[in-house]
């Protein structure tokens, strides 16, 4: 039919069912924008959904989708790497455009899939893979056209941000805040990917690849989670005028190399990222012409994420014959400096006698707060390469000081 584009959706989980819902409930709005109907021809899922208004269009067989020449756009919302990767690759090679919300997939295979899309002259779009409902990939790609981006930094994981907010605002312990997040559905039963920083790392990898043109793989990025952040750190951070946030950050250095890290950081109150609380995400893009631009919103959830997927579907439908410019080359990590070269000012919490004096002798100028009587001290250092910091902190530990925690200070 002329006024219709057929699409297939791979996966009918949280995001997939949201995509189907928006395509059905916002049908007229979408038709008005596009001038064509987006018709869900097939939905792939191994489960049965007899109550779905499109129950008869479900299939368990991917071959039905790949072999259907009418299906021009395929939406991958299954998550995980396999068989998502194989399915997406086959769809692109079959000349179908693909939209995905799968950050794991894009972080692991983005360069390869973008290259296939380029060769086949189809689109591979993934707005929903970073920041959920926040438009970021497209605006950044747009910003990038007339800007040299020097830095991207963000709160990219809603689960950990919710936990840290509860620790900061309500004085909850980490474990209690995690349990609350799980009870409220913000954290999964197995929260490892979130609290150990892997999810945030995948997202900063995608943004770094986009900003600097070479694929950055998660294995190339030093990644720390928030499991070792204590309430005591949160309280000391406040005294230093900061909140603790899990930050993914990539920065272009004068050498042309990039410095990329995912780790909890002390963020000064005055930073735009300091006020992004609870399950919200915020992403700062620092361009040479625009200055700082910040995007804020819900980074996850069924409808926010699904609405970003649908916007990509519409873009694919509008550009069936013309590719959107979205591309980066493969990368070997040779444009990334090592974690020991990466420069940060540091926060340290330690226990022992005369910690401040000992730290000053090692680190030079520091700011310190001691809690009288308890032999506990927190201090912050000037900026230095992380390797140099670790050397000095080892010397401090050898001088009868117990190092309780060390956290980077974000220059955000």
Closest distance to its own copies from the beta carbon of 321 (Å): 9
Closest distance to its own copies from the beta carbon of 294 (Å): 4
Residue 118 interacts with its own copies (CB under 8 A)?
no
Stretch that binds its own copies, among 139-147, 333-341, 370-378, 398-406 (CB under 8 A): 139-147
Residue 139 interacts with its own copies (CB under 8 A)?
yes
Active site residue 203: yes
For 329, the token pair is: 């080359």
Residue 2 interacts with its own copies (CB under 8 A)?
no
For 24, the token pair is: 């059905």
Residue 297 interacts with its own copies (CB under 8 A)?
yes
Interface residues for its own copies in 325-364 (CB under 8 A)?
325
Tell me the C-alpha distance between 130 and 398, whole Å: 43
Residue 291 interacts with its own copies (CB under 8 A)?
yes
- Half-sphere exposure (Cβ direction) of 356: Cα atoms closer than 13 Å: 12
Work out the end-to-end distance of the chain between its first and last CA atoms, rounded to an integer number of angstroms. Answer: 52
* Backbone angle region of 97, left / alpha / beta, with phi > 0 → left and psi within -120 to 50 → alpha: beta
Q: Give the H or E element holding residue 271.
A: none
Please, which residue, 7 or 178, has the CB nearer to its own copies? Answer: 7
Stretch that binds its own copies, among 133-141, 337-345, 350-358, 386-394 (CB under 8 A): 133-141
Go through 225-252 and write b for each residue having 16 or more CB atoms within 10 A of its CB, e for each that does not: bbbebeeebbebbeebebbbbbbbbbbb
Q: Is 149 helix (H, G, I), strand (E, B) or coil?
A: strand
Closest distance to its own copies from the beta carbon of 155 (Å): 13
Please select the residue that binds its own copies; options are 197, 264, 287, 331, rule is CB under 8 A.
287
Residue 256 interacts with its own copies (CB under 8 A)?
no
Task: Please choose, from the candidates 372, 384, 328, 354, the residue with its C-alpha nearest in 3D space to the C-alpha of residue 107.
Answer: 328
For 310, the token pair is: 């649908």
Please select the residue that binds its own copies; options are 295, 368, 369, 370, rule is CB under 8 A.
295
Please select the residue that binds its own copies; options are 3, 119, 255, 275, rule is CB under 8 A.
275
Tell me the C-alpha distance between 222 and 342, whole Å: 10
Residue 20 interacts with its own copies (CB under 8 A)?
no
Q: Is 306 helix (H, G, I), strand (E, B) or coil?
A: helix
Which residues are bridge partners to 369 per DSSP? 378
Please, which residue, 313 or 378, has the CB nearer to its own copies? Answer: 313
Closest distance to its own copies from the beta carbon of 142 (Å): 5
Q: Give the H or E element holding residue 127.
A: none
Q: Looking at 41, 203, 214, 245, which residue is catalytic?
A: 203
Residue 206 interacts with its own copies (CB under 8 A)?
no
Please select the residue that binds its own copies; options are 86, 175, 292, 330, rule is CB under 8 A.
292
Task: Please choose, from the candidates 153, 164, 358, the residue with its C-alpha nearest in 3D space to the C-alpha of residue 242.
Answer: 164
Closest distance to its own copies from the beta carbon of 88 (Å): 21
| Residues binding its own copies: number (CB under 8 A) | 45
Residue 148 interacts with its own copies (CB under 8 A)?
yes
Q: Is 182 helix (H, G, I), strand (E, B) or coil?
A: helix
Please, which residue, 272 or 368, has the CB nearer to its own copies? Answer: 272
Tell me the C-alpha distance between 94 and 97, whole Å: 9
Our measurement of the distance from residue 383's CA atom to the centroid of its chain's CA atoms, rounded to an integer in Å, reads: 26
What is the full DSSP assignment across 184-206? TTSS-SS-HHHHTSHHHHHHHHH
Using alpha carbons, list the distances in angstroms from residue 58 to 14, 48, 199: 16, 8, 30
Q: Is 84 helix (H, G, I), strand (E, B) or coil?
A: helix
Please select the residue that binds its own copies; options are 298, 351, 375, 395, rule is CB under 8 A.
298
Stretch that binds its own copies, among 106-114, 128-136, 246-254, 402-410 (CB under 8 A): 128-136
Residue 304 interacts with its own copies (CB under 8 A)?
yes
Please, which residue, 31 or 240, has the CB nearer to its own copies? Answer: 31
Q: Which residues bind its own copies (CB under 8 A)?
A: 22, 26, 29-30, 33-34, 133-135, 138-139, 142-148, 272, 275, 287-298, 301, 303-304, 306-308, 310-311, 314-315, 318, 322, 325
Q: Which residues are catalytic?
A: 203
């Amino acid at each position: 039919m002329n006024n219709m584009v057929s699409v297939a959706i791979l996966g009918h989980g949280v995001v997939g069912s949201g995509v189907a819902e928006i395509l059905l409930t916002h049908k007229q709005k979408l038709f008005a924008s596009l001038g064509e109907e987006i018709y869900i021809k097939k939905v792939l899922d191994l489960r049965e959904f007899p109550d779905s208004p499109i129950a008869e269009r479900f299939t368990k067989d991917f071959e039905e989708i790949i072999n259907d020449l009418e299906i021009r756009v395929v939406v991958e919302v299954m998550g995980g790497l396999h068989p998502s990767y194989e399915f997406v690759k086959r769809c692109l090679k079959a000349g179908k455009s693909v939209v995905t919300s799968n950050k794991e997939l894009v972080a692991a295979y983005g360069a390869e899939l973008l290259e296939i899309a380029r060769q086949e002259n189809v689109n591979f779009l993934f707005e929903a893979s970073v920041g959920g409902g926040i438009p970021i990939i497209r605006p950044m790609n747009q910003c990038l056209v007339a800007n040299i981006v020097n830095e991207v930094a963000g709160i990219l994981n809603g689960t950990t941000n919710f936990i840290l907010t509860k620790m900061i605002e309500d004085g909850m312990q980490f474990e209690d805040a995690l349990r609350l997040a799980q009870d409220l559905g913000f954290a999964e039963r197995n929260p490892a990917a979130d609290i150990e920083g892997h999810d945030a790392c995948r997202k900063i990898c995608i943004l770094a690849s986009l900003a600097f043109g070479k694929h950055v793989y998660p294995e190339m990025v030093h990644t720390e989670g928030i499991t070792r952040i204590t309430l005591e750190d949160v309280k000391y951070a406040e005294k230093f005028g900061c909140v603790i946030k899990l930050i993914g950050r990539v920065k272009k250095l004068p050498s042309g190399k990039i410095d990329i890290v995912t780790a909890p950081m002390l963020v000064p109150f005055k930073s735009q990222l300091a006020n992004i609380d609870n399950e919200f995400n915020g992403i700062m893009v620092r361009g040479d012409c625009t200055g700082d631009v910040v995007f804020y919103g819900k980074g996850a959830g069924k409808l926010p994420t699904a609405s970003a997927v649908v916007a990509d579907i519409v873009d694919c439908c509008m550009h069936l014959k013309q590719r959107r410019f979205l591309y980066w080359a493969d990368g070997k990590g040779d444009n990334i400096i090592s974690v020991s070269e990466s420069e940060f000012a540091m926060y340290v919490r330690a226990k022992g006698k005369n910690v401040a004096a000992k730290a000053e002798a090692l680190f030079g100028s520091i700011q310190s707060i001691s809690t009288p009587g308890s032999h506990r001290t927190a201090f912050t250092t000037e900026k230095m390469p992380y390797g140099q910091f670790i050397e000095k902190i080892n010397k401090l530990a050898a001088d009868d000081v117990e190092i309780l925690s060390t956290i980077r200070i974000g220059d955000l």
